[in-house]
């Protein structure tokens, strides 16, 4: 019995016939060879989000980011004209990492007028050009113009900074993101600048965590211990049903309905939710963000929970109805490991009460995420046994089929390009 109408084909999955309804293999999560292919075909080709413009408030603001899948560290900087640029974080003289402190594995952020290499003192302007060479006249026919920092393709959309490691991206960023993000273009991200950031090393393939967060079928079961018995039992009885699913190009979105916790009977709430007027769905007292973009909550759920935009390959933006948003990033480090990052954004709190409500929402998010992460290592361990290669997926898990299919398609296309690319 559907609470929300499904497409005329009878299911979300069959609405996208290229996905099929057969059981799926997770062979793409258990092999080093496959990871190497994904690294080249996906993580060195796709646009990757590396942060937001608020992290670069003025000319000279920069941050560095180590990206294992590209075997590099990059500097993202706002130049004197205000343009956001990205460079490989390597000094052109002898290859030292240009910007680092104490530990080259630790990302840095700050503000400067130029970058100075700590090895021999070469300096680079915010545009990447060499501005100073120590004892320049000792070199042989050195033309500084030939030794600028190596640029990385960098574009900004809705305040999100993306890079692409291909010499020539297959598509401009806006085209790559496509129509699925249109509802987000007018979202007031720039007003939600109060940020909680979380980071974790996960002993599982990156796609397994994407999968964990792109279906909510698990929620009433895995997260049972997060609610008083009354609500937990009711949630499990009801099960989960997404209100709307949409797949566009390599990206996916799911809309869920919500709850109005302030209307729930006492035994269904934790006392702390009442004290802080906040919880899983966010602070109960919604900030005034003005009229939200019309494309959000496309089927007009009332109450609405969230829209979860799963942007290929490793980035997600969750817009919650209660006036906050969350992002996820999954940075692969091997076929069986990745770094997970989550950012939780609110409008700056004006009062202690608002601040405590945000603390409650952020910490609730963390406790749920710890449970979501908890199954991943256990899943990876057993997938690597390879005793089962056919896993059934239900209609609420349609986005999982899509991710694995798209990842496979990108690998296939890349292999065809490179096999057929005998041009060199």
Partner 1 sequence: MNLLPAVFADLEPFTGWCLPTEAERYAKRLASTMDEMVAFYDAITSRAEAALDYCDQLPLDALPDDARHLLWLLESMVMVSFPVELWRQPRVPDTATTTLDCVHEPVP
Q: Which residue's CB is nearer to partner 1, number 79 or number 107?
A: 107
Q: Which residue's CB is nearer to partner 1, number 14 or number 377?
A: 377
Q: Which residue's CB is nearer to partner 1, number 34 or number 274?
A: 274
Q: Which residue's CB is nearer to partner 1, number 6 or number 353?
A: 353
Closest distance of CB 343 from partner 1, Å? 8
Tell how many helices (H) and how many strands (E) occur in the chain. Answer: 9, 17
Closest distance of CB 333 from partner 1, Å? 15
Closest distance of CB 88 from partner 1, Å? 24
Q: Cα(207)–Cα(252) distance, rounded to whole angstroms?
A: 14
Closest distance of CB 366 from partner 1, Å? 5
Q: Which residue's CB is nearer to partner 1, number 183 or number 279?
A: 279
Closest distance of CB 21 from partner 1, Å? 31
Q: Which residue's CB is nearer to partner 1, number 32 or number 272?
A: 272
Q: Which residue's CB is nearer to partner 1, number 174 or number 275?
A: 275
Q: Cα(414)–Cα(107) distance, rounded to whole angstroms?
A: 31
Q: What 8-state DSSP symbol labels residue 302?
A: S
Closest distance of CB 159 from partner 1, Å? 17
Closest distance of CB 280 from partner 1, Å? 12
- Tokens (6 digits) for 419: 């096999």
Three-state SS letters, the chain:
CCCCCCCCCCCHHHHCHHHCCCCECCHHHCCHHHHHHHHHHHHCCCCEEEEEHHHCCCCCEEEEEEEHHHCEEEEEEECCCCCEEEEECECCCCCCECCCCCCCCCCCEEECCCEECCCCCCEECCCCCEEECCCHHHCCCCCHHHHCCCEEEEEEECCEEEEECCCCCCCCHHHHHHHHHHHHCCCCHHHCCEEEEEEEEECCCHHHHHHHHHCCCCHHHHCHHHCCHHHHHHHHHHCCCCCEEEEECCEEEEEEECCCHHHCCHHHCCHHHHHHCCCCCCCCCCCCCCCCCCCCCCCCCCCEEEEEEEECCCEEEEEECCCEEEEEEEEEEECCEEEEEEEEEECCCCCHHHHHHHHHHHHHHHHHHHHHHHHHHHHHHHHCCCCCCCECCCHHHHHHHHHHHHHHHHHHHHHHHHHHCCCC
Judging by beta carbons within 10 Å of its beta carbon (0-12, 13-18, 19+), is residue 101 exposed, middle or buried?
exposed
Closest distance of CB 243 from partner 1, Å? 28
Closest distance of CB 358 from partner 1, Å? 7
Closest of 207, 197, 214, 209 to residue 341, by C-alpha: 197
The Cβ of residue 3 has, within 10 Å, a number of other Cβ atoms equal to 11
- List residues near partner 1 by CB under 8 A: 194-201, 203, 225-228, 270-272, 275-276, 340, 342, 346, 348-356, 358-360, 362-363, 366-367, 369-371, 373-374, 377
Q: Cα(40)–Cα(69) distance, rounded to whole angstroms?
A: 8
Q: Which residue's CB is nearer to partner 1, number 123 or number 270?
A: 270
Closest distance of CB 359 from partner 1, Å? 5
Closest distance of CB 340 from partner 1, Å? 8
Residue 297: φ, ψ to 5°: 45, 60
Q: Which residue's CB is nearer to partner 1, number 6 or number 195?
A: 195
Q: Which residue's CB is nearer to partner 1, number 316 or number 342?
A: 342
Q: Which residue's CB is nearer to partner 1, number 131 or number 194?
A: 194
């Amino acid at each position: 019995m559907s609470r929300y109408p499904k497409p005329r084909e009878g299911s979300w999955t069959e609405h996208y016939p290229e996905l099929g309804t057969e059981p799926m293999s997770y062979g793409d999560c258990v092999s080093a060879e496959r990871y190497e292919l994904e690294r080249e075909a996906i993580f060195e080709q796709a646009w990757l989000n590396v942060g937001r413009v608020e992290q670069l408030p003025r000319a000279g603001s920069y941050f560095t980011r180590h990206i294992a899948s590209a075997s590099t560290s990059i500097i993202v900087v706002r130049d004197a004209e205000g343009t956001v640029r990205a460079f490989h974080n390597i000094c052109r003289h002898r290859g030292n990492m240009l910007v680092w402190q104490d530990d080259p594995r630790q990302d840095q952020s700050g503000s400067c007028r130029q970058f100075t290499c700590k090895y021999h003192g070469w300096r680079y302007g915010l545009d990447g050009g060499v501005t100073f060479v120590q004892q320049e006249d000792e070199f042989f026919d050195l033309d500084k113009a030939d030794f600028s920092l190596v640029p990385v393709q960098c574009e900004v959309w809705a305040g999100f900074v993306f890079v692409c490691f291909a010499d020539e991206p297959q598509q401009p960023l806006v085209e790559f993101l496509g129509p699925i993000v249109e509802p987000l273009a007018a979202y007031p991200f720039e007003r939600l600048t109060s940020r909680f950031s979380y980071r974790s090393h996960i002993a599982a393939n990156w796609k397994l965590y994407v999968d964990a967060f792109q279906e909510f079928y698990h929620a009433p079961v895995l997260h049972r211990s997060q609610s008083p018995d009354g609500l937990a039992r009711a949630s499990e009885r009801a099960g989960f049903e997404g209100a709307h699913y949409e797949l566009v190009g390599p990206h996916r979105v799911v809309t869920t309905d919500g709850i109005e916790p302030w209307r729930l009977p006492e035994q269904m709430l934790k006392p702390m939710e009442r004290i802080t007027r906040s919880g899983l769905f966010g602070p109960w007292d919604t900030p005034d963000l003005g009229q939200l973009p019309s494309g959000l909550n496309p089927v007009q759920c009332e109450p609405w929970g969230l829209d979860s935009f799963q942007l290929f390959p490793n980035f997600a933006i969750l817009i919650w109805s209660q006036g906050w948003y969350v992002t996820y990033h999954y940075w692969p480090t091997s076929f069986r490991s990745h770094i997970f990052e989550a950012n939780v954004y609110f409008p700056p709190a004006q009062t202690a009460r608002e601040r405590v409500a945000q603390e409650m929402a952020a910490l609730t998010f963390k406790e749920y995420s710890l449970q979501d992460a908890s199954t991943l290592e256990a899943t990876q361990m057993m997938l690597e046994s390879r005793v089962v290669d056919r896993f059934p997926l239900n209609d609420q898990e349609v986005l999982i089929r899509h991710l694995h299919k798209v990842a496979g398609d990108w690998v296939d296309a890349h292999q065809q390009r490179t096999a057929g690319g005998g041009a060199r």
